[in-house]
Amino acid sequence: MTISRDAFLRSLPAAVGNVAFSVDGDQIRPLDPKHGWRIVATPLPDLRIALIRLPRQRVEIFLAGFDEVQTKRFLERFELYFRRAGG
């Protein structure tokens, strides 16, 4: 994702349905273990285009105990909150 870590963490609560979570380094986990997800956000080198520098994060989402419908809903919600203009 082309996003700073701070911006990612500001948008994350809405993207995960306002589930309380903890951040430990790159690991983001819900405080209540009944929510079966884990997110790893790892900083990447900035993307440079001429004089423009865009911060980037590698974002990996791990889901456990989700059926197909729940997986689709989680990922669609997550994408919705991080969608940028232009698609």
pTM greater than 0.85:
yes
According to the model, what pLDDT value does residue 1 have?
Answer: 87
> Is the torsion defined by CA of 85, 40, 21, 25 positive or negative?
negative
Burial 66-86 (b: 16+ CB within 10 A, else e): eeeeeeeebeeebeeebeeee
Name all domains of the chain by residue range, CATH numbers in brackets.
5-82 (3.30.1370)
Quick: pLDDT tens for 64-80: 999 999 999 999 999 99
39 touches 9 (CB < 8 A): no
57 pLDDT above the threshold of 70? yes
Quick: pLDDT tens for 12-52: 999 999 999 999 999 999 999 889 999 999 999 999 999 99
> Is the torsion defined by CA of 66, 1, 58, 81 positive or negative?
negative
| Rounded to 5°, angle at Cα 17 from 55 and 19 | 90
